[in-house]
């Protein structure tokens, strides 16, 4: 058996064309062009690559995307002032601050300064809180993209045994909450979980977001499980790999998302969709 590949790359391209472009055209007829600002501090290589992909997808959807760049020694005060300026600017619908940030800048302070209505990453306490309450909100991009790719691949979450490996604030915790909101039976494991193999042995959907290359091997995956790999790592010999050992995993899984071309493009898709949603909310 070889797993069916869930291509986030193909899916996001299709959804941009079929869903986002018409929504943007409708907004433009009302005189609104959705506008996203990405604040990028320093020259982190991975961040620069993510930012390029965001700009490309924004262009395909027909929205405006600007990247505002700052030296790595920019002060926290300066960054907070920039966010306050964006909060007041009616022509800007969404803002994200690309993470990681240099150590002298408080992520908590930065996130609490972004107005929740423009928080298209869905990282502010208000938006995360609503997500956990199951209320409509701007949902974090990677978790939203994961649920979307599962559903578009034909998976229903209701009643399914979903195991999330990873407990970060930007993926593990919120994706568990979203799956729970869809009536899945959810278990969260992480790097300190004892007897991980036993914990994941009856999973029907496995979402791996631990941030360690090749952390999960095919041997550990229950036969027929759907595997979503959130990790992305640069290999020493060149190329990228995920948190899952793809070659062995695809022999056990029924469906699997690859790295690259899996979750990454769906994260970017969700960001553009969130920006359009934020713009639509200003028009009503
Ligand atoms: N760094 C890695 N992933 C993300 C993300 O989804 N949003 C932001 N702002 N920074 C990131």
CATH code of the domain containing 170: 3.40.50.720
pLDDT of residue 166: 98
pLDDT of residue 172: 98
Residue 206 phi, psi (nearest 5): -120, 120
* 15 occurs within a structural domain: no
231 and 183 in one domain?
A: yes
Report the candidate in 122, 227, 225, 238 with the shortest Cα–Cα distance to residue 165: 227
Residue 189 phi, psi (nearest 5): -110, 170
145 and 106 in one domain?
A: no
SS3 of 239, please?
coil
Ligand 1 pocket test: which of 65, 68, 83, 96 has the largest number of ligand atoms within 8 Å of its C-beta?
Answer: 96
- CA-nearest residue, atom 2 of ligand 1: 99
Q: Six-digit token pair at 39?
A: 């604040």
Report the candidate in 101, 63, 12, 35 with the shortest Cα–Cα distance to residue 282: 35
Ligand 1 atom with the shortest distance to the CA of 170: 6
Q: Is the peptide bond before 91 cis (omega within 30 degrees of 0)?
A: no
- Local structure of residue 283 (DSSP, 8 states): H
- CA-nearest residue, atom 3 of ligand 1: 99
Task: Count other C-beta atoms under 10 Å from residue 236's C-beta.
Answer: 7
Are 225 and 204 spatial neighbours (Cβ–Cβ below 8 Å)?
yes
How do residues 91-118 score in pLDDT, each as one tens digit? 999 999 999 999 999 999 999 999 999 9
Ligand 1 atom with the shortest distance to the CA of 142: 6
* 125 occurs within a structural domain: no
* Strand spans (E) along 152-223: 161-165, 185-189, 205-208
* 1 occurs within a structural domain: no
* 21 occurs within a structural domain: no
168 and 62 in one domain?
A: no
Query: Residue 44 above 90 pLDDT?
Result: no
Ligand 1 site, CB within 6 A: 96-99, 121, 141-142, 170, 267
95 and 190 in one domain?
A: no
* 173 occurs within a structural domain: yes
pTM of the predicted model as reported, rounded to 2 decimal places:
0.97
221 and 150 in one domain?
A: yes
35 and 91 in one domain?
A: yes
155 and 77 in one domain?
A: no
**Domain residues for 201?**
141-264
Ligand 1 atom with the shortest distance to the CA of 140: 6
CA of 44 to the centre of ligand 1 (A): 12
Report the candidate in 211, 208, 212, 161 with the shortest Cα–Cα distance to residue 184: 161
* 61 occurs within a structural domain: yes
Residue with tokens 């472009």: 21
* 281 occurs within a structural domain: no
243 and 168 in one domain?
A: yes
Q: Which residues pair with 39 in a beta bridge?
A: 68, 97
* Strand spans (E) along the chain: 4-5, 35-41, 64-70, 94-97, 161-165, 185-189, 205-208, 226-229, 233-234, 240-241, 255-256
Domains identified in the chain, total number: 2
- CA-nearest residue, atom 9 of ligand 1: 98
Q: What is the C-alpha radius of gyration for the chain, rounded to an integer number of angstroms?
A: 19
Least confident of 42-51, 141-150, 172-181, 204-213: 42-51
CA of 145 to the centre of ligand 1 (A): 13
146 and 90 in one domain?
A: no
Q: Which residues are catalytic?
A: 54, 98, 121
254 and 195 in one domain?
A: yes
Using 50, 70 and 90 to split pLDDT, how confident is the model at 284?
A: low
Question: What's the CATH code of the domain at 44?
Answer: 3.40.50.10860
**Burial, 158: exposed, middle or buried (Cβ in 10 Å; 0-12, 13-18, 19+)?**
exposed
112 and 71 in one domain?
A: yes
* 13 occurs within a structural domain: no
50 and 96 in one domain?
A: yes
């Amino acid at each position: 058996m070889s797993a069916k590949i869930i291509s986030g790359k193909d899916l996001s391209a299709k959804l941009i064309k079929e869903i986002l472009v018409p929504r943007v055209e409708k907004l433009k007829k009302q005189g609104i062009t959705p506008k996203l600002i990405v604040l990028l501090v320093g020259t982190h290589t991975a961040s620069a690559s993510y930012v390029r992909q965001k700009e490309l997808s924004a262009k395909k959807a027909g929205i405006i995307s600007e990247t505002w760049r700052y030296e790595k020694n920019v002060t926290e005060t300066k960054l907070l002032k920039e966010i306050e300026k964006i909060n007041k600017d009616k022509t800007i619908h969404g803002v994200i601050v690309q993470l990681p940030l240099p150590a002298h800048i408080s992520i908590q302070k930065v996130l609490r300064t972004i107005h929740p209505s423009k928080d298209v990453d869905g990282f502010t306490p208000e938006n995360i809180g609503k997500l956990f309450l199951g209320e409509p909100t701007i949902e974090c991009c990677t978790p939203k993209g994961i649920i979307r790719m599962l559903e578009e691949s034909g998976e229903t979450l209701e009643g399914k045994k979903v195991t999330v490996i990873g407990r970060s604030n930007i993926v593990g915790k919120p994706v568990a909450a979203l799956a729970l909101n869809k009536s899945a039976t959810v278990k969260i494991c992480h790097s300190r979980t004892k007897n991980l193999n036993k914990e994941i042995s009856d999973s029907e959907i496995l979402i791996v977001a631990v941030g360690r290359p090749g952390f999960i091997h095919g041997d550990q995956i229950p036969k027929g499980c759907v595997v979503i790999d959130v990790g992305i790592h640069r290999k020493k010999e060149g190329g990228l790999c995920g948190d899952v050992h793809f070659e062995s995993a695809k022999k056990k899984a029924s469906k699997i998302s690859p790295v690259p071309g899996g979750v990454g493009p769906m994260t970017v898709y969700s960001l553009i969709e969130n920006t359009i949603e934020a713009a639509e909310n200003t028009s009503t």
